[in-house]
Structure 1
């Protein structure tokens, strides 16, 4: 049976196959065992690699730091490490979305949901930097209107601020570009599609105390 040989101790599936921790992902597994599994991602046998990848995915977040610092022992191992990391992160985000959707009746946290979707494409996304930008946008609008502005005045100022001063616009040239749907990209590039631009508008509007709501229409999304 193929095994990894890199100067470090050799490991093979046989060593782990008889261990209860290998068969049951719910069992505790220590750091040295995780490192041993990671080294097996360099094995030449694709069946072994698939089995080990599945085990690491089952271990989940506790394996992430060790996967990130793992020494690359052969070219294919780098791709395998990335694949396992993506599966772990994707699974965690899916769980978070399911939990968000399963909350009792009431309005879903739009901001949390929007950034969860963005983290699918950008796992290392620093959400707080973008929430801070949304706070700053709302504050800049508030500074322009003062404390006694009417709702109509606030909306006009918000429209001018977002779509004229800040230059947010629809991506008419590349409507189906994935980045149009990720709120962090919309904020960075000042470009999006109706639903992502509406999300931005809702989040800034809520910070200003406006009673804005999103309305799903056939083929459209309106605020």
Structure 2
């Protein structure tokens, strides 16, 4: 954006000690949209005062965030919001300049490597073993316990970079690849876990899910490692946590709910410190998806 007299005047007031003045200036700058970001970045580079630099960084973040809110609203309104698109929106919260094409290329390479090993004669377990072997052995994907000190572990772009995630981010990668390969694997809302399940359904039958969805699940997958579990293993888990295994725990989660959960979990990484405002923003995005 070309620097006008108004922009110049606003920039001169960014360091004003009066919070009310700064709030007014901020709101006006935000109203100009993301096209003003290059001007703010130039101002940041030529400003020696760290406190003013922090204010500029916050303004740039707020501009990206306003754009992201609109993108989440548009994604939610799609006829079939896709999980990959939602996960990339979450990644953009931390990395607004994310090169989406790089992520898509990495996903496509993974999909192709798995597809080359699949054929129509494989059993469900054999299909899953192909996906798991390539993801966890060939690509060396690792899973760690959820740590709220590591926000990058929740973000798909960083999982692809580092080959390290947690149950949620690894699970989302597994689900994205399953969907691209037409393998009927979905996440199910088993308490205190993020677990995947292989359903005995094809892509035209999801609306015909029985009243007891567990009857249509062949086995379960732990996205931390790709390990497979049986129905008996899951029933043992429910007994151990003293929770009745009702049908609702075996109904597949839709993509909007998965991304909402991801936002809620990522928000826990910003409970304290100078980035605490990010928790409020992430929870606002989660509430937009829940409306």
Give the counterpart of 2:54 among 75, 79, 86. 79
Aligned to 1:150, which of 112, 122, 131? Answer: 122
Distance 1:45 1:201 in 2: 50
Q: For residue 212 of structure 1, report the CA deviation from its aligned partner.
A: 2.2
Name the count of aligned residue pairs: 191
Cα pair distance change 1:151/1:136, threshold 3 Å: farther
Q: Secondary structure at the match of 2:97?
A: coil
Q: What CA distance in whole angstroms lies between the structure 2 residues aligned with 1:69 and 1:133?
A: 33
Distance 1:65 1:82 in 2: 12
Matches within 5 A, 1:27-176: 31-32=3-4, 33-70=6-43, 72-75=46-49, 76-104=51-79, 107-145=80-118, 147-152=119-124, 153-172=126-145, 175-176=147-148
- For residue 56 of structure 2, give the secondary structure of its aligned residue in structure 1: helix
- Structure 1 residues 42 and 144, CA, compared in 2 at 3 Å: closer, same or farther? same
TM-score, with normalisation over the residues of structure 1? 0.76
RCO comparison, higher one (Cα < 8 Å, 6+): 2
Partner of 1:15: none
CA shift, 1:83, in A, is 0.9
Q: Which runs of 4+ in 1 moved over 4 A?
A: none
Cα offset for 1:30? 7.2
* TM-score with structure 2 setting the length: 0.59
In structure 2, C-alpha distance between the alignment counterparts of 1:73 and 1:128, rounded to whole Å:
33
Contact 2:143 / 2:167 at 8 angstroms: preserved in 1? Answer: yes
The structure with the larger Rg is 1
Q: Gapped runs of 5+ residues in structure 1?
A: 1-28
Unaligned runs of 5+ in 2: 197-291
Aligned partners of 1:221 and 1:89: how far apart in 2? Answer: 30
2:162 corresponds to which residue?
A: 189
Residues in 1 aligned to 2:190 and 2:78: alpha-carbon distance in whole angstroms: 24
Q: Are 2:10 and 2:25, in contact at CA under 8 Å, matched by a contact in 1?
A: yes
